[in-house]
């Protein structure tokens, strides 16, 4: 299934972080801890299509089941995720998500097969549906990434509009790359040039004071 937010659903009055105002994303320092491939290679993946040929390992879901469905299926916004059985296999990834200190929803590892071309990756551009059922009295939900494999030739393409090539920016995907993206505002997809799957941890976070504090602590400046 291809995830796709409803048109203009990013135009709301939720609280947002000023650090994301200008470009919709922020590149942070690389993760400095150890990453153990056994954690993501031994987890259970489910078939779930988003932005290319993908599978996902759910680590936290709406109710703790091994599923990737939107939390709205269970009457929740994308917050207060519940750990699945995969969480026991990946303590480093669980700790990374918890250490940020912000309210999290979906926690997943994406396994992305190599892209056939840049044009194919562009055809996969989409906006995420992160804020369905999120009341405007609470902060906007964005996503944070930790790239797990060393995909130095690959990058995430982000654009303000699907066909707005002038706004295109590239986010590098080396091992340990950390970044935060407003993926309901930005159209995005990864151009993965490698010959092996790319793995990355993706976590939905409420973008309030706690997330800002973590961003400040990981800032490259």
Residues that bind Fe ion (CB under 5 A): 128
Cβ 91 to Fe ion, closest distance in Å?
26
Give the nearer residue to Fe ion in terms of CB position, either 79 or 89.
Answer: 79
Pair type for strands 46-47 and 151-159:
unpaired
Give the nearer residue to Fe ion in terms of CB position, either 84 or 184.
Answer: 184
Cβ 209 to Fe ion, closest distance in Å?
25
Give the nearer residue to Fe ion in terms of CB position, either 6 or 33.
Answer: 6
Cβ 1 to Fe ion, closest distance in Å?
12
DSSP E strand boundaries for the chain: 25-27, 46-47, 54-61, 82-83, 104-112, 141-147, 151-159, 169-173, 178-181, 187-191, 198-206
Beta partners for 117?
none
Question: In the structure encoding, which two tokens stand for residue 14, read together?
Answer: 């939720």
Cβ 137 to Fe ion, closest distance in Å?
25
Give the nearer residue to Fe ion in terms of CB position, either 35 or 186.
Answer: 186
Q: How far apart are CA 58 and CA 191, in angstroms?
A: 22
Q: Which residue is nearest to Fe ion (CB)?
A: 128
């Amino acid at each position: 299934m291809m995830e796709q937010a409803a048109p203009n659903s990013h135009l709301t009055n939720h609280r947002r972080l000023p650090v994301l105002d200008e470009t919709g994303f922020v590149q942070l320092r690389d993760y400095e801890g150890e990453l153990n491939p056994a954690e993501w290679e031994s987890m259970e993946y489910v078939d779930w299509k988003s932005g290319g040929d993908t599978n996902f390992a759910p680590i936290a879901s709406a109710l703790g089941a091994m599923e990737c469905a939107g939390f709205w299926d269970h009457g929740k916004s994308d917050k207060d995720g519940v750990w699945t059985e995969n969480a026991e296999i990946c303590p480093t990834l669980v700790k990374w998500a918890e250490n940020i200190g912000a309210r999290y929803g979906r926690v997943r590892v994406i396994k992305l097969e190599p892209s056939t071309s840049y044009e194919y990756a562009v055809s996969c551009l989409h906006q995420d549906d992160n804020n369905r059922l999120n009341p405007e009295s609470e902060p906007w939900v964005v996503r944070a990434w930790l790239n797990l494999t060393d995909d130095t030739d690959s990058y995430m393409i982000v654009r303000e509009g699907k066909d707005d090539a002038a706004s295109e920016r590239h986010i590098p995907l080396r091992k340990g790359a950390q970044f935060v993206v407003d993926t309901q505002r930005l159209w995005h997809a990864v151009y993965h040039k490698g010959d092996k799957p790319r793995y990355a941890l993706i976590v939905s976070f409420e973008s309030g004071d706690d997330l800002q504090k973590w961003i400040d602590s990981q800032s490259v400046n």
